[in-house]
Amino acid sequence: MGHKSTSGTPSPFMVSLWMAAHPPEALEVVSVMGVVVNCTGLGAGELCSDAELVPIKGQLTYLLPQPEINYIVLAGDLYMFPRADGIVLGGTHVRGDWTLEPDLAAKSRVLAGHAKVFGAL
């Protein structure tokens, strides 16, 4: 393993990257170290040949920060969380969708849904 920290010992991050890239050798490491935690999320599907692992795509819409909003809203599939960096609006969940591009139609649906909820208050 060529990745070493300044102390000469490989950092846990470099070890995990190396192991993800070398599954057969990683098994050997398991036999020496006793345990390996695979925390590669969706990437675990490819690493472990697990075709049952599928993505569920979610998308967030952010409004400008509004410090006076100090409550959350949950209404069916819709949710709103105030954060220092903006108001988070959701939610969407699309099973089996691998795309990373924002879905503008979903964004419009979320905005319209929240407008309806707040319009009814």
Ligand X SMILES: Cc1cc2nc3c(=O)[nH]c(=O)nc-3n(C[C@H](O)[C@H](O)[C@H](O)COP(=O)(O)OP(=O)(O)OC[C@H]3O[C@@H](n4cnc5c(N)ncnc54)[C@H](O)[C@@H]3O)c2cc1C
Distance CA 22, CA 35 (A): 16
Select the span of 3-11, 35-43, 64-72, 96-104 touching ligand X (CB under 6 A).
35-43
User: Which DSSP state fits 25?
Assistant: H
Select the span of 3-11, 34-42, 94-102, 110-118 touching ligand X (CB under 6 A).
34-42
By CB under 6 A, the count of residues binding ligand X is: 11
Which of 35, 39, 51, 120 binds ligand X (CB under 6 A)? It is 39
According to the binding rule CB under 6 A, does residue 73 interact with ligand X?
no
Q: Which amino acid is at 106?
A: A
According to the binding rule CB under 6 A, does residue 29 interact with ligand X?
no
Distance CA 85, CA 89 (A): 13
**For the packed helices 23-33 and 12-21, what is the interaxial angle rounded to 10 degrees?**
130
Residues 21, 50 contacting (CB under 8 angstroms): no
Residue closer to ligand X (CB basis): 39 or 121: 39
Which chain residues interact with ligand X by CB under 6 A?
17, 20, 39-43, 47, 58-60
